[in-house]
């Protein structure tokens, strides 16, 4: 796991100091080695920089940037290729010679041998840039799920890129302003990490499973395309029992490959089905492996997962490491957390994850396995009842849909009323949906924003529902999962995990997220994921019988690394008020209204929502990022939206 950075600019631009600043900003991603190379090409200069966290082959010969044997290609790479041993054997059979035991050299030679077609052969998480010195092209690619980040900017006719947004800002000749559309989407609707746009105007992220090609001579992007997207047609003819066997085989193979490491590893354990399955599978495939688990234990009994964590640790004989946190610690660490995330985020639960990775680093661990992504592959959370009912109704199975709704509503935290609401919500037109929002008090133009200013800047005052139109009527659940996988949903969660883990120089691996596993699960009948009784992740629960304790597999609730957010914010209200007070310096926010609404929400649990945190988070982020706050600049931002 590493950090990459680079730029293509006019020769003589004087980028040396800015490149060093960017490398320094990425030092936490790669504390073991850093280097940068400068190339002259057709009146331009191309910089490729890298900070290394050594995981596979710790020798200096595996450092980056890395040249191909013939010197034509130069690679900077962030991530891991889990099937590098299998690919290396295949390449050796084709006559390729290797000088290291690293997955980086395997990726480089795979690119040399197969070009872009190598992407489909990779089992891993990655973001990389490869420079072809003869063709004068820089090709940048991101893994299927966007596990590893890649930010870029074309401000001023140049091309800048890095693994984190603050490092890109260090490369730019001047500080840009905010992206007002992203600010509105986040503050009002809680939407972030769902498109190529970031919170900073002029800085974008390469989307998951996308490939970007740059002509270095012109510093122009010549192509941008998606290189992978999961098929959501039901192509499988397997019985439930047969599908269960395949699910088990693929998952255990994922675990086995992701245990490959030349440094100590452990696992993040929340006590839920997903992280518990990861830990138990580690023990299943490696009976003698020392297992260290890292868990957040909430002080609030209603949010604590400690009972379930203890069951798993006892089952596998793990060494357990636990951490708790309180509001004062959040206040202490808030600036570091916000800086490391790089952009605003959803809730204080991200701090719980931050503390888990901090504990892992303090315990000498460099690699962790995590259960992220299972919900978006297996229809977790509450099971997407509205989408499932639409699938059944489209096939004329009205009675079946009613039976499903009744069974689904019997699970904890669900209700028949919620089932009906979820169904109707998915059938509403955008206009009707907006009307329901207003009726329930969720205004699209709350009093604390300057709506006139935002409209003048071209901001759309509506919620993007991210509805996947290209979905068969009877595959609504799978279609929504695909949207959650690469748009609104999983990308934000992966961003939280990447920044929190890398803050403490830890590589976080997510064994659920392989294209093979995704494609197999999305090819199954929907009832294999959500059973007729409303059980989520049905085929996976069945696949893990005998590996994971039944008490875990039979769980009907879901908590995760949850925090008592309202109680925390109440207990540190004087500090929170200071954070919120920063809104007064943001031209499109009313500082007085921000504080008034937040005070009311904290006093009345019926009015409290994550919006209180979002307002405080955005104000703190704005202060720390030192964005250009000139009103004229802000009015120019987001034009054309």
Domains and CATH numbers, the chain: 2-226 (3.60.20.10), 240-377+488-553 (3.40.50.620), 384-486 (no CATH), 565-636 (no CATH)
**Is the pLDDT assigned to residue 552 strictly greater than 70?**
yes
- Is the sign of the CA dihedral 518, 520, 525, 530 positive or negative? negative
pLDDT in tens, 58-79: 999 999 999 999 999 999 999 9
Q: What is the pLDDT of residue 518?
A: 98
Could you give the 3-state DSSP secondary structure of residue 299? coil
What six digits make up the tokens of 321?
């490491």
What residues contact residue 366 under an 8 Å CB cut-off, 6+ apart?
53, 55, 261, 263, 264, 265, 505, 506, 507
> CA-to-CA distance for 256 and 240, rounded, in angstroms?
24
User: What CA–CA distance (Å, rounded) separates 163 from 636?
Assistant: 27
Residues 84-91 have a mean pLDDT of 97
Contacts 24+ apart (CB under 8 A), 543-548: 543/244, 543/245, 543/247, 543/248, 543/251, 544/248, 544/251, 544/273, 544/277, 544/280, 544/281, 547/248, 547/277, 547/280, 547/281, 547/284, 548/273, 548/276, 548/277, 548/280, 548/312, 548/315
Q: Which helix (H) or strand (E) holds 527?
A: helix 526-529
| Mode of pairing for the β-strands spanning 2-10 and 44-52 | antiparallel
What's the confidence (pLDDT) of residue 413? 82
What's this model's pTM, rounded to 2 decimal places?
0.94
pLDDT surpasses 70 at 468:
no
The more confidently predicted of residues 468 and 116 is 116
Residue 556 confidence class, pLDDT cut points 50, 70, 90 = confident
Split at pLDDT 50, 70, 90, the class of 638 is: very low
371-427 pLDDT, tens digit each: 999 999 999 988 888 899 999 999 999 999 889 989 898 888 888 888 877 787 777
Asked if residue 109 has pLDDT above 60, the reply is: yes
* pLDDT on residue 213: 98
pLDDT at 343 over 50: yes
Query: Using CB atoms within 10 A of its CB, is residue 129 exposed (0-12), middle (13-18) or buried (19+)?
Result: buried
């Amino acid at each position: 796991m590493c950090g990459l950075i680079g730029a293509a600019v006019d020769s003589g631009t004087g980028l040396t100091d800015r490149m060093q600043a960017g490398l320094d900003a990425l030092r936490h991603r790669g504390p073991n080695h850093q280097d940068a190379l400068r190339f002259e090409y057709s009146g331009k200069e191309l910089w490729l920089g890298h900070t290394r966290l050594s995981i596979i082959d710790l020798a200096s010969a595996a450092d980056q940037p890395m040249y191909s044997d013939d010197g034509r290609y130069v690679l900077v790479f962030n991530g891991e290729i889990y099937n590098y041993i299998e690919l290396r054997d295949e390449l050796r059979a084709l006559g390729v010679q290797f000088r290291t035991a690293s997955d980086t050299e395997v990726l480089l030679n795979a690119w040399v041998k197969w070009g872009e077609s190598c992407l489909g052969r990779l089992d891993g998480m990655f973001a990389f840039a490869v420079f072809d010195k003869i063709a004068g092209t820089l090709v940048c690619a991101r893994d299927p799920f966007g596990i590893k980040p890649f930010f870029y900017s074309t401000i001023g006719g140049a091309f800048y890129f890095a693994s984190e947004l603050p490092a890109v800002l260090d490369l730019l000749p001047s500080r840009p302003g905010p992206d007002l559309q992203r600010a509105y989407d986040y503050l009002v609707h809680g939407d972030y990490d769902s498109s190529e746009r970031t919170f900073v105007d002029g800085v974008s992220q390469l989307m998951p499973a996308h490939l970007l090609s740059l002509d270095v001579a012109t510093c122009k992007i010549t192509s941008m395309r998606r290189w992978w997207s999961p098929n959501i047609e039901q192509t499988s003819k397997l019985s439930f029992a047969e599908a269960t066997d395949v699910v088990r085989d693929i998952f255990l193979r994922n675990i086995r490959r992701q245990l490959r490491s030349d440094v100590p590893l452990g696992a993040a354990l929340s006590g839920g089905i997903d992280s518990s399955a990861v830990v138990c599978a580690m023990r299943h495939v490696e009976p003698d492996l020392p297992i260290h688990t890292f868990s957040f234990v909430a002080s609030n009994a209603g949010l604590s997962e400690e009972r379930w964590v203890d069951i798993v640790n006892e089952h596998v004989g793990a060494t357990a490491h636990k951490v708790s946190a309180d509001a004062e610690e959040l206040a202490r660490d808030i600036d570091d957390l916000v800086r490391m995330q790089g952009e605003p985020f959803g809730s204080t639960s991200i701090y719980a994850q931050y503390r888990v990775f901090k504990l892992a680093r303090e315990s000498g661990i460099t690699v962790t396995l995590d259960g992220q992504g299972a919900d978006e592959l297996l229809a977790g959370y509450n099971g997407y009842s509205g989408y499932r009912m639409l699938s059944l109704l489209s096939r004329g199975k009205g009675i079946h849909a009613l039976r499903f709704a009744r069974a689904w509503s019997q699970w904890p935290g669900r209700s028949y009323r919620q089932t009906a609401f979820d169904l109707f919500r998915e059938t509403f037109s955008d206009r009707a949906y907006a009307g329901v929002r207003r009726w329930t008090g969720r205004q699209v133009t709350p009093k604390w924003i300057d709506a006139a200013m935002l409209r003048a800047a071209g901001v759309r005052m509506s919620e993007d529902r991210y509805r996947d139109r290209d979905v068969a009527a009877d595959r609504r659940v799978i279609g929504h999962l695909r949207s959650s996988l690469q748009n609104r949903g999983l990308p934000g969660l992966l961003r939280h995990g990447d920044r929190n883990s890398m803050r403490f120089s830890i590589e976080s691996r997510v064994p659920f997220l392989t294209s093979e596993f995704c494609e197999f699960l999305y090819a199954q009948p929907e009832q294999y994921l959500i059973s007729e009784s409303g059980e989520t992740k049905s085929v996976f629960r069945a696949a893990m019988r005998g590996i994971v304790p039944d008490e875990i597999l039979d769980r009907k609730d879901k908590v995760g690394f949850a925090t008592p957010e309202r109680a925390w914010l109440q207990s540190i209200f004087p500090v929170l008020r200071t954070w919120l007070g920063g809104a007064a310096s943001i031209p499109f926010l009313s500082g007085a209204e921000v504080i008034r609404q937040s005070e009311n929400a904290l006093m009345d649990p019926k009015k409290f929502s994550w919006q209180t945190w979002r307002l405080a988070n955005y104000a703190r982020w704005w202060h720390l990022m030192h964005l250009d706050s000139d009103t004229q600049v802000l009015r120019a931002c987001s034009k054309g939206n």
